[in-house]
Structure formats: C-alpha cells, structure tokens
Amino acid sequence: MTDTPVSTSSTTATGNETLTLAVEIKKYDAGALISFLQERGLGLDLDDENIIRKEKIRGIDFLDMTKQDFQEYGMKGGPAMRLVKFARDCKDKKLRAFSTYRSLKEVLEKYDLASEGTEIIPLFTPQIHEIPEDNKHLEQCMADIKLRLKSYGTLVLTSLESMRNEYVSTILHTALRIAEDATKKKFIMKPEYEIIGDESSGRVDYAVKESEELIRVTEDKVQQKLTEGFAQNIKQLESSFQTNKRKRKRDEDYFDYLYGVVTSARDWHFLLYSPGEILQASKAPFSIEFTEEALVENSEEDKTLRKGVKKVLSIIIGLLEDRACVEDKSERKRARIEKYRSKK
C-alpha cells in the first residue's frame, strides 16, 4: 500500500461518484508508483523497479509510456509489455469513492444479508486482552482524556468531529502501546490512509499496520450516520483485503481476515471481515461516557468512564494481538475464524 497522499475520505480526488484509476496514479512519484505496481502482481523484479527509480518515472509519465520507451531505458520486453497494457487498463478502470457508499442495504446484499440496519449482521466473539488497573499506558490515557474533558466539557452528539477525533486518537495510541508490550511487535498507526481496491478507493480515518500487513481500519461516524459508517468500513475492508492479497505470491488457497472499527468516540462497533463474510462483535455499541462529572475523582461518573475506556481498549488490543500473531497458514486462519464465530 502506498503512503502517498491522494484524496480525503469525503472527496476522493474529484469528489465525483467514480473516477478513473489513472487520476490517482498521476499523483504518484517514482517511489509511490513502484509500491503501487508491486501490489498489482505484475511480476516485476528489482531490475525493473530500479529502472523506474533511476529514470524518475512518475505516475503521470508512466501512463503515456510505450513499450519502446521502457526498452530504451533497458527493460526487457516481457515486463515492458505488461506495464504498457496495465497503464492502458488503468485509464479505463473506474473506482468508486468510499464516501459514496451510503446504503448499508446495498453493501450487505453481497453477503446475502437483506437489511438497511446493522442488527442483521451475524456476531463473532472477539478476543479480549485483560488490562491491569495499574497499567502505565491506561493511567496516561485516562489523564489525557480528563485533560480534554476539562477543555471541551461533556461529549455530545453535536460535538465537532475534530474534538471527537482527539478522544479516538488517544484511545488508539494507548491500545497500540499496550499491544506492543504484550506482543513484542511494532505497530504503526496511519491517519488518513489511502486504499485502492479493485472497485473502490479513498482514505480511511485510521489504519493500523504491523510490518506491511494492514491490521485494522476505522471510520469515524456520529450515531445518526451509523449505517453509512458500516457500509463504508465494509468497503474499506474489502479493498484492504484485495490490496493484501495482491502483495502475496499467487496462492489459490489464499485466505485472510481483517478487523474494522466504526466509532463516534462515544460508541464503538467492531467488525470482522473474511472473504464473503462480515461479522460484528455486538449488536449494541461498546460505549464510553465522556462527561464533565467524571473529573470528580472516584465519583460514579469517573468509574463509569474508566470502565468504558478499559472495555474498548481490551477489545482493540485483543484484535491487534490476534491479527498480528496469527499463523501465516490458510487452514489455521480459517480455523481461527470458525472459533470466533458466535453461537448466539
């Protein structure tokens, strides 16, 4: 996946319902172009990539190059032909912006789920990480949250998105630090992370990666637009899965799964995506009450705030531990998904 900034989650490139893949590629520098081509399974080797890098071929150049152009730079006929054909396909390939998916019913039809509501999505039982009360990262998280409560006051549905995002970011960073301590792995959080799938593209509010593998995608939504958040997050998970699959060597038995999060800062919903299947952790949200009254130490509101934060953190960390430590074997991943399916 490329880290090159391209578009926002609300206005993919032009803000239109669809755009050609070429519009995105034109904005790539040589490094981003190489990363993008690596994901497409074109069979390029290091020599081919070095030619693109040495000649400083940007995305806008790539789209107009001919087989002869590539060969004059020293590339063999095979990869030159594949690149030219791929560039031609990119000019015709239409991608739909994530932000244009507003009907959950439309998205769920692909999974044989006929409803505009989230209640029809089957359940899974998430892995939970138990957090000690004296955990240093938890204590820092609570302190940071209370600093914001002093400045912003009680979080309500009409609160600004930028305000809600500060709470979301604090919780996510805390989850990563605790997960790193537990797994001894390095996690990276990337805000406004671009994903280009086979049929959709755009940015997710946050993406968490371990090495090169996408771990989790989040989409920030207020309660009134919850079904839109689910629809867009599902499409983001589909596109992320497609990107991960392109990075792997060809494998007919390829199987993977990803976790998604839809949150308004107060309410948190967790999704599990695997090929042809979407599951949720609960029909009701896991909620955190950000109220000014919680600033009173040891008050009921303070205890409620801490309980909500711990619960959400324990789920996020559990998902990260599971996804980062899963064995890289298709049959084992399938067995894991089967284990997590709820029997409710």
As a whole number of angstroms, the distance between CA 280 and CA 273 comes to 9
Angle separating helix axes 226-247 and 30-39, nearest 10 degrees? 90
Mean pLDDT of 79-84: 96
For residues 11, 15, 19, 24, the Cα torsion angle rounded to the nearest 10 degrees is -50
Q: Where do the structural domains in the chain lie, given as residue ranges?
A: 18-97, 104-340
- In the predicted model, what is the mean pLDDT of the chain? 86
C-alpha distances (whole Å) from 142 to each of 147, 148, 305, 320 are 9, 10, 9, 21
Tell me which DSSP letter residue 43 carries: -
The reported pLDDT for the residue numbered 160 is 86
pLDDT digits (tens, 9 = 90+) for 172-224: 999 999 999 999 999 999 888 888 887 888 888 898 887 655 555 676 666 66
Q: Which fold has domain 18-97?
A: DNA polymerase; domain 1 (1.10.150)
Number of other residues whose CB lies within 10 A of the CB of residue 254: 14
2-11, 100-109, 152-161: least confident range: 2-11
pLDDT digits (tens, 9 = 90+) for 93-105: 888 889 899 999 9
Tell me the pTM: 0.80
34-38, 107-111, 164-168: least confident range: 34-38
Q: Residue 107 — very low, low, confident or very high, per pLDDT cuts 50/70/90? A: very high
pLDDT digits (tens, 9 = 90+) for 231-280: 999 999 998 888 777 666 555 567 789 999 999 999 999 999 998 899 99
